[in-house]
Amino acid sequence: MCAAPTDDRDARHVSLASFGEDATSRLRAAHVLIIGVGGTGCAAAAALAAAGAGTLTLVDFDRVDASNLARQPLYTPADIGRDKVAVAATRLATQHPGISIKPRAERLAGEALQAAVHAADVALDCSDNFASRFALNKACVDTGTALVSGSALRWEGQVAVFGPDYANAPCYRCMYSDHDEALDDCQGAGVLGPIPATIGTLMATEAIKRVTGTGTPARLSLYDGSTGEWRQLGVSKNGDCPVCAAR
């Protein structure tokens, strides 16, 4: 059980008219699953920890590389070669001792992934490949768990929220097919360092809205950092979606 919002760290949330003590307490009790602690994952985890999310489960099998440092601010040159989740968990716990952080240095799949998703109030897709995104989406649909999806590439990024009512609303898979797995990735196409942080921070905001019942979930939001422009698009349920169409 998380403590009631009584300390000064919560003061700005409590004084926010549309948030207040009730939402602050729900945030303190929330469990957020973050798949991938790279560019978007670092920013999302840092924002959620600072905001007072009660429990963060961080999942990533990767280790810190020098090429990560320009866009993954939880890591330093001294961390190169170490497990990302171990470094991230230690750093966040030091900065925000009031929250619980559970690092999992592994690639979750199958029943293990489904169990991790089921245990969370909301899942954040901060992964960097379609196989992981598709697997996480299916686990969210199967367990009725809300999914916040984010990605960044070149100068651009996107954020969208799916579920938990997958019977009447689209899932992530409604937007993409198996052919999309051949699309460019960050390693091949590059990405401007601040773009993943922009997207990850917005993902944290959507997660907070979800677990506290405040605000309105984002539609598909597209950001072009080269022009500073945002676009909002609707996503329709795909009647042929192999994951959610039959629900």
Q: What CATH number does the domain containing 190 carry?
A: 3.40.50.720
pLDDT number for residue 184: 53
Q: What is the rounded CA–CA span in Å between residue 45 and residue 36?
A: 10
Query: For residue 150, what are the domain limits?
Result: 14-233
Q: Which two tokens stand for residue 211?
A: 């677990």
pLDDT digits (tens, 9 = 90+) for 27-67: 999 999 999 999 999 999 999 999 999 999 999 999 999 99
- Cβ-based neighbour number of residue 244 at 10 Å: 25
pLDDT score recorded for residue 219: 86
Q: Determine what percent of the chain is predicted with pLDDT higher than 70.
A: 93
Q: By mean pLDDT, which of 86-90, 99-103, 177-181 is the weakest? A: 177-181
The pLDDT assigned to 3 comes to 43
* Catalytic residue list: 186
Pairing between β-strand 156-162 and β-strand 100-104 as defined by DSSP bridges: unpaired
- Among 52, 26, 8, 17, CA closest to 210: 26
Residue 4 pLDDT grade (very low, low, confident, very high; cuts 50, 70, 90): very low
The answer to the question of residue 205 being in a domain is: yes
Q: 113 versus 186: which is more confidently predicted?
A: 113
- Asked if residue 240 is part of any domain, the answer here is no
- The DSSP result for 140-192, as a single string, is HHHHT-EEEEEEEEBTEEEEEEE-S-TTTS--GGGT--GGGGGS--HHHH-B-
Q: Report the distance separating Cα 148 and Cα 153, nearest Å.
A: 17
Residue 160 has pLDDT above 90, yes or no: yes
244 inside domain: no
Count of structural domains within the chain: 1
